Each structure stands twice: as structure tokens, then as C-alpha cells.
Amino acid sequence: MGFFAEHARQLVAALGRLAQHPGSTLLTIGVIGIALSLPAGLRVVVNNGRVLAGSWEHAQDFTVYLNMEVSMDAAGILAQQIRGLDDVADVTFISRDDALEDFKRYSGFGDVMRALDSNPLPHALVVRPRTDLEPNAIAELAKVLERREETDLVQLDTAWVDRFRAMLDISRRAVDLATALLALAVIVVIGNTIRLEINNRRREIEVTKLVGGSNAFIRRPFLYLGLWYGFGGGLLAWILINIGLQALSGPVAQLTGLYTSTFRLAGLPWLESIALLGGGGLLGWLGAGLATSRHLAAIEPQ
């Protein structure tokens, strides 16, 4: 009981010490907060990218353009046949007339199309493979369909999704690297702040050693100071990220609306929020630990 009560007292005392110099405290916490918000913010961006990539499962769809000679009826029969294949989940038939209507409406070339006396577009089938199909199997299916004599061209659109995922993987690695570097920077910043604090309190440390204070006893308030710096920085980073998300959510909703997507910008999940605050505190503790173990022993009463 006494032990924990003493620690709790020192924890609060360290907070009180920070409150005595609000200017420099806020400055230090500001630096740490910004340093922490960078990797945490990038992580949010990458996580959102993954959610986005996940919602593109249907981007495995591919389009089979039929020869111009294939009639409407034959195309319908072909659609039925393909729909019956094991690897196919669904087939949407887009007739050349529908395609022309869509093209006129969305391409902006409506007037040009009207100038033509015949429809240049073929019938098309949008094939949706089963979702559990491997990319190789999808390519295989596309090849099979390409070999049919009714087929003019098969357009597989998965390549860019794969590229996007590969880029996402690289970004995740880069964010991990940035996280490690900035965590190191936070340790250095807090370590340096604690070192200055140790210099400011040199007299007090000397006196405490003279009346029998152990290194552990003298160290404790500095460790708590580091803990608060780190925790404060983590809290600031959390606030900055949420402000950033607020600022971005409007434009993102507008953008995804244009793509008729239901994608919503995800914030920091509570587990990662706790990790941010706790991680900040831990880094502060570590920085203070390094600074105290290096500089406290050097101060001896004269």
C-alpha cells in the first residue's frame, strides 16, 4: 500500500512540476506530438488504403467483348452458357444498344456518336468470377473465354488492383520504418529534455544523495516526468490525427461519391488509440531512463 501510494504521489508530483513551466512543457509535448502523429497518421492512411483495396474484391470482374457478327440471341445464349461454368459467379449481358446509350450519356462524345450511321459497339459480357478464385485461375478462365470463336477481346482489369496492393505493401513497410525512426527521435527528444531537467536540479540531486537518497529514489521523479511527456505527446498526436480526419472526411466523401462507392474514411480504432498513448508513455519512460542512467551517476556531492 505504502509503496503504491508513494508512486502515485510522485506521479502526480511530476505532473505538478510540468504545470509549473507550462510554456516549455507545451513546447516539448508539441514536438513529441508532431513526431508521433506522423507515423500514426500515415498508418491511418495505409489502413484506409487496405480497406479500400478490400472493397475491390469485385474488381476481379472482366469484360468479354464479342465479335460484331454475333447476334443478340446468340449473345444471350452464350451468357447463359458462361453463367453455367463452375468458376463463374455471375454474368451481366450488356447489349450493343445499351452500351451505346451509356457511352452517349457518360463519355461526352454524344454528338459524335449521333453523327455515325451505325453502332460501332459490340455486345459485351461482364463476367464476375467466384470470389474465392486465385488470380491465376481467373487468368485461366479469361483465356478459356478468349479462345471461343464468338469472342473478340477479353479485358482483364485486375492488374492495377494487384499493383495497388503491392504499393500498399511497400507503403506499410515504409511506415514501419518511419515509425521506428520517429520513435527513436521521441526517445532522443525526451532524453535531452530530461538531461536539461537533471542539470537544473543538480543541487537538489546532490542534497538528496547527501541525506541517503538512492539512485532509484532520485531517478523516479525523472522517469515519471518522461512518462508524462510521452503520454502528453501521444495524446496530442491522437488529437492531431482526429482533427486531420475530420478535415479530410468531407472531401473524401465527395470523392468516393463520384465513384459511387460507400467507402468511409476510418479513424483510429480504440486499440490503436491506446497503443498511441501507451506507446508514447513508454517511449518517454525509455528516454528518461536512458538520460538518468547516463547523467545521474555523474552528480556526486562535493
Partner 1 sequence: MISFQNVAKRYPGGHEALRELSINIDAGEFVFLTGPSGAGKSTLLKLIALIERATRGSVIVNGLNTARVTRRKIPAYRRNIGVVFQDHKLLYDRPVFDNVALPLVIAGMGRRETQRRVRAALDQVGLLGREGHAPVTLSTGEQQRVGIARAVAARPPLVIADEPTGNLDPALSVDIMQLFERFNEVGVTLLIATHDLELVNRLGHRQIKLAAGRLVDDGTTVSA
Q: Which residues contact partner 1 by CB under 8 A?
A: 2-3, 5-6, 203-204, 206-215, 217, 300-302
- ∠238-286-276 over CA atoms, to 5°? 15
Nearest approach, Cβ of residue 173 and partner 1 (Å): 45
Within the chain, what is the greatest distance between any pair of CA atoms?
A: 103
Nearest approach, Cβ of residue 213 and partner 1 (Å): 5
CA dihedral angle for residue 193, residue 198, residue 200, residue 205, rounded to 10 degrees: 160
Provide the angle, in degrees to the nearest 10, between the axes of the packed helices 215-258 and 270-295: 150
Q: Which is nearer to partner 1, 278 or 301 (CB)?
A: 301
Q: Which is nearer to partner 1, 195 or 219 (CB)?
A: 219
Contact criterion met (CB below 8 Å) for 198 and 299: yes
| C-alpha span between 78 and 88 (Å, rounded) | 13
Nearest approach, Cβ of residue 199 and partner 1 (Å): 15
Nearest approach, Cβ of residue 193 and partner 1 (Å): 19
Q: Which is nearer to partner 1, 7 or 163 (CB)?
A: 7
- ∠34-37-40 over CA atoms, to 5°? 160
Q: Which is nearer to partner 1, 204 or 272 (CB)?
A: 204
Nearest approach, Cβ of residue 212 and partner 1 (Å): 4
Q: Which is nearer to partner 1, 82 or 194 (CB)?
A: 194
| C-alpha span between 234 and 254 (Å, rounded) | 30
Q: Which residues pair with 128 in a beta bridge?
A: 90
Nearest approach, Cβ of residue 41 and partner 1 (Å): 39
Q: Which is nearer to partner 1, 22 or 212 (CB)?
A: 212
| C-alpha span between 37 and 47 (Å, rounded) | 15
- The letter for the amino acid at 263 is F
